């Protein structure tokens, strides 16, 4: 199975400051069609997960532009340019390239 390793697992951030979450895969996530099926999800307390980013860097409709994704091969990053109170929650990366599809452990973002 592809292991997805996130860091840090806990991320205290000051409001208005940037935040960055790393996600590394144990093997390349490039699919045979040339795409990389790397997704980022946000799970706010008590809520279902919500997709923020798909195929590494594509932001979902309605997702604020302070969220961005980048990366290639096995190394990926989710960045929040200026953290707001509503960004508190757990963030997961997930690879949809190789069966079985796997998630990272999750990174808990909280306000200092």
Contacts with another protein, residue ranges (CB under 8 A): 31, 33, 35, 37, 39, 41, 43, 48-51, 54-55, 60, 90, 92, 94, 96-97, 99-106
Q: Is the distance from CB of 1 to CB of 102 less than 8 angstroms?
A: yes
Q: Please say which residue, 26 or 81, places its beta carbon nearer to another protein.
A: 26
Q: Phi and psi (nearest 5°) for 59? A: -85, 135
Q: Please say which residue, 35 or 81, places its beta carbon nearer to another protein.
A: 35
Minimum separation from the CB atom of position 70 to another protein (A): 17
How many whole angstroms separate alpha carbon 54 and alpha carbon 86?
21
Q: Please say which residue, 83 or 91, places its beta carbon nearer to another protein.
A: 91
Minimum separation from the CB atom of position 10 to another protein (A): 13
Minimum separation from the CB atom of position 48 to another protein (A): 4
Over the Cα atoms of the chain, what is R_g? 13
Q: Please say which residue, 81 or 103, places its beta carbon nearer to another protein.
A: 103
* C-alpha 87, offset from chain centre: 13
Q: Is the distance from CB of 59 to CB of 14 less than 8 angstroms?
A: no
């Amino acid at each position: 199975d592809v292991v997805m390793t996130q860091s840090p697992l806990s991320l205290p951030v000051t409001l208005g400051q940037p935040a960055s979450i790393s996600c590394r895969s144990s093997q390349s996530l490039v699919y045979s069609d040339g795409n990389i099926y790397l997704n980022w999800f946000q799970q706010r307390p008590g809520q279902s997960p919500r997709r923020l980013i798909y195929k590494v860097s594509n932001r979902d409709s309605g997702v604020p532009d302070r969220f961005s994704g980048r990366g290639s091969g096995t190394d990926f990053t989710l960045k929040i340019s200026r953290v707001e109170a509503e960004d508190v929650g757990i963030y997961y990366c997930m690879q949809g390239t190789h069966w079985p599809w796997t998630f990272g452990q999750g990174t808990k973002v909280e306000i200092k």
